[in-house]
Structure 1
Amino acid sequence: MRQHQQCGLHQRQRGISLIGLLFWAVFLACTGVVAARVFPTVMEYYTIQSVVNRIAKGNPATVPAARAEFERIKQVEYSIQSISGSDLQISKDNDKVQISFAYERQVELFGPAFLLLKYQGRSQ
């Protein structure tokens, strides 16, 4: 009698359906494409930040000297493409050089869709 009752009940299946699997596959693929396109711009930002910190730590005597140093390093660091020495804002605070920068990068996603990223930083 007991076996007869268990056979009549529908067992609820667990797992992911085909539509759910396709949804997650498309979602992860889109996220991966966006991450792959954004990652180089993030690495460029960290490279610029480290260069600016290095220049500020060297305490250049003049603004043109700081900009020339940035341009010299930029020739070696091929990943810096979005900013030049003339884009740097350079000031002195208590005999310490402060360098700040800000720039925008557009990343093409697909077709007419772009992602606008705004970066800004300051020497430490």
Structure 2
Amino acid sequence: MMKNQRGVALSGLMFWSVVLILIAVLGMKVTPTFIEYQKILKDIKATAAKAGPDSTVADIRKSFDKFAEVDTLDFKASQLDITKENGKVVISFEYEKRIPLFLNVSLLIDYKGSTAG
């Protein structure tokens, strides 16, 4: 009588190891850009909350630059779109982040954010 063997074949183990390593590497490359996006979002919300009704665009940009300096962001206030809607300051932004993966393959992520809601 033959017993059924249970377990993982070496080829299956190697395949899934490669898949898990690729996912881990992708995660390590994408995570810093997502953290930067979250910091920018937090900073524009803090800037909008701090802006008074008589704040100028230059004042708002200067205020954001101070928050960005504390969070050590490469993102500049000149990349912000600042408007007023119903008497409230609305700050929004949009940018692309290209993450090189290997050889000539890159991952392109479009980040967008706004204080409008």
Aligned to 2:20: 28
Alpha-carbon distance between aligned partners in 1 of 2:90 and 2:51, rounded to the nearest angstrom: 9
2:3 paired with 1:11: yes
Structure 1 consecutive aligned stretches of length 4 or more whose deviation exceeds 3 Å: none
Q: Under a length normalisation based on structure 2, what TM-score does the superposition of the two structures give?
A: 0.91
Aligned to 2:85: 93
Number of aligned positions between the proteins: 114
Alpha-carbon distance between aligned partners in 2 of 1:88 and 1:74, rounded to the nearest angstrom: 12
Alignment of 1:107-122 (within 5 A): 107-122=99-114
Unaligned runs of 5+ in 2: none
Aligned to 2:57: 63
- Residue 73 of structure 1 aligns with an amino acid whose one-letter code is F
2:29 paired with 1:37: yes
Unaligned runs of 5+ in 1: 1-8
Aligned to 2:66: 72
- Residue 31 of structure 2 aligns with an amino acid whose one-letter code is F
Indicate the structure (1 or 2) with the bigger Cα radius of gyration.
1
Alpha-carbon distance between aligned partners in 2 of 1:112 and 1:72, rounded to the nearest angstrom: 37
Alpha-carbon distance between aligned partners in 2 of 1:119 and 1:54, rounded to the nearest angstrom: 19
Aligned to 1:3: none
